[in-house]
């Protein structure tokens, strides 16, 4: 019979989860932002709608303060124009 292995618990550093906590704190602040929901169903769905807004319709400084859709449309147009020229 094999004796059970004793596994020592991992010693965690206090800043291990700081990045994740910071991310979710910012997400929570932006999601809530003074809103009130009319039903529990809407309240449960909103966290899943927020990433769509954040990733697709929100203006991003890395894209010249354009939405990803606007940036992609401009990129397609500029490639089409440069291919024609």
Cα gap 66→68, rounded to integer Å: 6
Range 21-28 average pLDDT: 79
Domain range annotation of the chain = 41-85
pTM of the predicted model over 0.85: no
Give the pLDDT of residue 85: 46
Q: Is the distance from CB of 60 to CB of 66 less than 8 angstroms?
A: yes
Range 24-30 average pLDDT: 78
Of 63, 85, 84, 65, the residue nearest 75 (C-alpha): 63
Give the pLDDT of residue 84: 47
Give the pLDDT of residue 6: 66
């Amino acid at each position: 019979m094999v004796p059970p292995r004793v596994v020592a618990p991992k010693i965690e550093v206090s800043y291990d989860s700081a990045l994740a906590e910071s991310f979710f704190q910012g997400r929570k602040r932006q999601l809530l932002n003074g809103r009130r929901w009319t039903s529990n169903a809407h309240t449960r769905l909103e966290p899943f709608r927020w990433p769509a807004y954040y990733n697709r319709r929100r203006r991003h400084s890395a894209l010249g303060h354009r939405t990803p859709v606007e940036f992609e449309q401009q990129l397609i147009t500029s490639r089409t124009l440069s291919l024609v020229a």
